[in-house]
Structure 1
Amino acid sequence: MALNSRISRRRLMAGAGLAAAAAFSPLGPASVFTPSRADAASGKLIPTGKLGTITYSQRDVPTRVGIAGSAALGVAPTMGYLGGPNFPADPNDLGPLVPLPGGWLELFEFLAASGFKQIEFAGYGQHAANPGGAAPNPAPGGVTTAESRAAYLAYARTLRGFLDANGLQAIGNHGFVPNTWNGPNSPGGAMTTADYDRLQLELEFAAVLGMSYMGTGSDPTSANNRNIEPWTVAGEKWEALNTISVRSGIQMYTHNHAPAYNFLQDGPMVTVTQDRITGAPIAPTQVRGESGKRLMQHYLDITNPDLVVVEMDIYWAHVAQHQHRWRYDWEGNRVEDIFDPLAQVAKQTKRYALFHAKDGDATAQPDGVGDGYTMIPFGDPRSDIDYQNFFKNVGARGFHNPNYEQDNAPGGTADPGRSLRFSKISASGMASLRG
């Protein structure tokens, strides 16, 4: 079936119903969302059961042939360094050259042994030679069939078995979101039957894994367009998607990068005569004025707080603080207006159900130039992101789901064990936060 594009806000909310609202109590299942008394007594800022990672950080591991797969094929395993007896306290203690894990089962074993409890997937694929085999195509030729559905869900049950065997919980995924539908009020806005069927299958897959959330690694809409109108349409789309997903017991979330915290263009056209970053004189230029509201805040303001949640990448939020410091007001004046990631979350803390806990080392770049940070393992001594203050003051302690991420963790063929070593360092860094 296709989803009709003309759905009112009232019908969307009615569709969710009281059962959906009850299913998404802000604290959720006690085993997942409630910090233990021991964690509270120790002052842990990230409860033991909430210590997570997104597998994009270890994306080289599922795709290589692991130890068991290499033995079955009769080939030599990939060798690398996972750390010696003083690792991770001494990150230079690389230890001996050892066979490296590969595939989901061996990755989960390693992550669990490192202290992680939650897994956010960045796709489900792995090398076919590893236990569980390759991920089946859920929609061959773009069409979900009875056969592809059965094979895909069988694979989900296999992954769930791997998670359960290692005491891990799937918390989310950066995966499929329908791209043929831009929201209930968009032109020609009906979702195709193929996309609707695929969405239902992905929700079923996520439910088998036990996920509370399913999402995307992207913003709600292109942040390159800062006009208010497309962000309003995006809010309508994601509210409607959540009305569908709550029937499966899942909330759908979007991800944030630095552009999502740029200024919304929501005012009249104005003439500006100063460079936005430097303040230097420029030729009179027409731009759209900015009230000071950020793109993501508009998205949150227009969506139902009981349905729609988001995931903040804390690193990229600090990049936004570095980059998006000046705006043009509705009179064309250049105004300094510095973004505060902590304040952004704290005023609506339960809208930010998930985080990417990505650490950063500040660069010497001037304000407004470049990213302002480079990525490092979580808790690295070079860190210039005050995670202790963030998690101490963000509110609703024990509610959020922080997932370690580091885009540059894999070391390639020169150092194939690096993403796993960085994961172990980061698990230790997250577990040691106190406040």
Structure 2
Amino acid sequence: MAFNSKFSRRRFMGAGAGAAVAAALSPLGPASVFAPAKASAASGRLIPGGKLGTITYSQRDVPTRVGIAASAALGVSPTMGYLGGPNFPKDPTDLGPLVPLPGGWVELLEFLANSGFKQIEFAGYGQNAANPGGTAPNPAPGGVTTPESRAAYLAYARTLRGFLDAYGLEAIGNHGFVPNTWNGPNSPGGTMSTQDYERLQTELEFAAILGLPFMGTGNDPTSANNRNIEPWTVSGEKWEALNTLSLRWGIHMYTHNHSPAYNFLQDGPMVTVTEDRRTGAPIPPTQVRGESGKRLMQHYLDITDPGLCVVELDVYWAHVAQHQWQWRYDWEGNRVEDIFDPAAQVARQPQRYQLFHAKDGDATGEAPGVGNGYSMVPFGDPRSDIEFKTFYKTIGAKGHYNSNYEQDNAPGGSTDPGQSLRFARISAANMAALRG
């Protein structure tokens, strides 16, 4: 089973056009402060250089601000911040001088490429309208895709593709539009609505222009607030139907996960329990639905076609799930300890896990089952308590996975607007240095 897109990344825009974009738009020049991260030449790299990526949600403050070039054109002062001095990122406290900060796609993509990233997972396509290329047009004003809105949106896709090519970057995925309707007996009306179909086709063509092999969502296959088996079975039907459409473009549509998606599936009879799930303390007799021990996401994988449906694992949230969901009630109402193993989960079916969010965490010291158990830190931060080296060595299929650095709390706001970019440099260097 192959997962490579049948659409070449060179189909819609040649490398020459990308080079022209770089020459015309880069405000930084060859001697910019954005020095590339240097990876060790030692063998055994656990994240191949060609698959070292980031999701732009981690740098979401950058596209939305006016960049260096746009500030100069408008005659306004650019946003100033710290990007690191000569000993950064080896010394994260070396903030360096106060400098103008990149803004918009051109400057962000140049910065990420020079930091050592190769792959980009988008978290939406919009940017500040003042930056080169403008902002993303609405593909479906009022919910309706028109010939004019489609044309404008796809023209923007070609512009964005040029920015990627200019810096030798590959678009690997996007968290974006997923239709609410689909073809299936459990879809409203039993079919996809015309508006959803036209919007999906437009998004898939946009993705094909960018060269995306994957297009998906930052959400679970369905709401994990409902752990009953029935809605999770329906979710498998939906995502198979969506992938049947998307694969006509050579694109797999993927789902994501947060910790609730690795909670226990409620798939048994109603039972009476007399012990607190977390502490084991006595409780009044309570009726709950029994759990076989299967996790929600495992049920989704079991019922979907492996040739259609692939998954993005968020490594951080999988470890939060390990911390949170350690006990279940079996089909007789007994409290059973059953601890989740994220690495074993991937190792059982490595081809189903095409993408990772390489998100790191510092253990909070909370008791098992209390809170999240971790707080987010840059990848490879000294405070890290997620053993990424062990994780990558255990899951098998070395070099197969597309690993995208993510850190939800990376932006520093107005007090430290350069923080998300510094954290990106730290993370790229540490991902590149991971050996095993």
Q: TM-score, normalised by structure 1?
A: 0.91
User: d(CA) in 1 for partners of 2:318 and 2:382?
Assistant: 20
Contact between 2:181 and 2:188, CA under 8 Å: does it hold in 1? Answer: no
Specify every segment of 5 or more residues in structure 2 that has no aligned partner in the other structure, as ranges: 11-38
> Aligned residues, how many?
408
Q: Kindly provide the amino acid, as one letter, of the partner of residue 118 in structure 1.
A: Q
1:155 aligns with 2:156: yes
SS at match of 2:159: helix
For residues 253-304 of structure 1, the C-alpha deviation after alignment (integer angstroms, 9 at most, x for no partner) is 0000000000000000000001101111101000000000000000000000
Question: What are the within-5 Å matches in structure 2 for residues 55-134 of structure 1?
Answer: 55-134=56-135
Matched residue of 2:126: which SS?
Answer: coil
3-state secondary structure, aligned to 2:232: helix
Judge conservation of contact 1:163–1:170 (CA < 8 Å) in 2: yes
Distance 2:224 2:131 in 1: 38
**Distance in 1 of aligned mates of 2:90 and 2:411:** 20
Equivalent in the alignment of 2:282: 281
Per-residue deviation, 1:181: 4.2
Quote the Cα distance in structure 1 between the aligned partners of 2:40 and 2:205. Answer: 33
- Give the Cα separation in 1 of the matches to 2:50 and 2:397: 15
**Structure 1 residues 201-241: Cα deviation after superposition (integer angstroms, max 9, x where no partner):** 00000000000000000001000000000000000100110
Task: State the alpha-carbon separation in 1 of the partners of residues 327 and 52 from structure 2.
Answer: 36
Q: Does the CA-based 8 Å contact 1:117-1:167 persist in structure 2?
A: yes
Contact kept? 2:182, 2:242, Cα under 8 Å: no
Cα pair 2:59 2:420 within 8 Å, conserved: yes
Paired residue for 1:185? 186
Residue type of the alignment partner of 1:179: N
Kept in 2, the 8 Å contact 1:172–1:214? The answer is yes
Name the aligned partner's letter for residue 176 of structure 1.
Answer: F
| Residue identity matched to 1:302 | I
User: RMSD of aligned C-alpha atoms?
Assistant: 1.9
Give the Cα–Cα distance (whole angstroms) in 2 for the partners of residues 352 and 361 of structure 1.
Answer: 24
**Equivalences for 1:10-409 in 2 at 5 Å?**
24=3, 42-181=43-182, 183-409=184-410
Question: Per the alignment, do residues 432 and 30 of structure 1 end up closer, same or farther by CA in structure 2, a change over 3 Å counting?
Answer: farther
Deviation for aligned residue 1:132: 0.4
Measure, in 2, the Cα distance between the counterparts of 1:204 and 1:26.
13
Q: What is the CA distance between 1:180 and its match in structure 2?
A: 3.5
Q: Secondary structure at the match of 1:61?
A: helix
Contact 1:53 1:404 in 2 (8 A): yes
Secondary structure of 1:379's aligned partner: coil
Match of 1:433 in 2: 434
Paired residue type of 1:193: T
Residues 182 and 233, structure 1, Cα contact 8 Å, conserved in 2: no
Change (3 A) 1:150 1:30: closer
Query: In structure 2, what residue type is equivalent to 1:217?
Result: G
- Deviation at residue 424 of structure 1 after TM alignment: 0.2
Seen in structure 2, the aligned counterparts of structure 1 residues 82 and 48 have a Cα distance that, compared at 3 Å, is same
* 1-structure distance, mates of 2:199, 2:400: 30
The Cα shift of 1:24 comes to: 2.8
Conserved? CA contact 1:171–1:213, under 8 Å: yes
SS at match of 2:256: strand
Residue-by-residue CA offset, 1:292-346 (whole Å, 9 max, x unaligned): 0000000000000111100000000000000000000000000000000000000
Q: Is the 8 A contact 1:270 1:332 kept in 2?
A: yes
Partner SS, residue 42 of structure 1: coil
Q: 1:186 Cα deviation (Å)? A: 3.8
Partner of 1:5: none
Residues 77-112 of structure 1: CA deviation (Å, up to 9, x unaligned)? 000000000000000000000000000000000000
The secondary structure found in structure 1 opposite 2:361 is strand
How many Å apart are 1:185 and its aligned residue? 2.9
Deviations 1:49-70 (A, max 9, x none): 0000000000000000000110
SS at match of 1:241: helix
Task: Indicate if the aligned counterparts of 2:9 and 2:211 stay in contact, CA closer than 8 A.
Answer: no
1:379-434 alpha-carbon deviations (Å, 9 max, x no partner): 00111000001111211111110100000000000000000000000000100000
Distance 1:284 1:28, change over 3 A: farther
SS at match of 2:57: coil
Q: C-alpha separation between the residues in 2 aligned to 1:131 and 1:423?
A: 22
Deviation at 1:179, TM superposition (A): 1.7
Q: 1:38-57, CA deviations, whole angstroms, 9 ceiling, x for partnerless residues?
A: 99971100000000000000
**Partner amino acid for 1:82?**
L
Residue 267 of structure 1 aligns to which amino acid in structure 2?
G
How has the CA–CA distance of structure 1 residues 30 and 152 changed in structure 2, closer, same or farther, with 3 Å as cutoff? closer
Is contact 2:5-2:251 (8 Å) kept?
no
> How far apart, in 1, do the equivalents of 2:217 and 2:284 lie?
40
Distance in 2, Cα, partners of 1:197 & 1:50: 32
- Contact kept? 1:360, 1:383, Cα under 8 Å: yes
Q: Distance in 1 between matches of 2:428 and 2:166?
A: 20
Which secondary structure state, in structure 2, belongs to the residue aligned with residue 259 of structure 1? helix
Structure-2 change in CA distance of 1:155 and 1:166 (3 Å): same
Q: How many angstroms apart in 1 are the aligned matches of 2:272 and 2:363?
A: 34
Q: SS where residue 390 of structure 1 aligns?
A: helix
Contact preservation (8 Å) 1:227, 1:265: yes
Deviation at 1:131, TM superposition (A): 0.5
SS at match of 1:132: coil
The whole-number CA distance in structure 1 between the counterparts of 2:434 and 2:4 is: 27
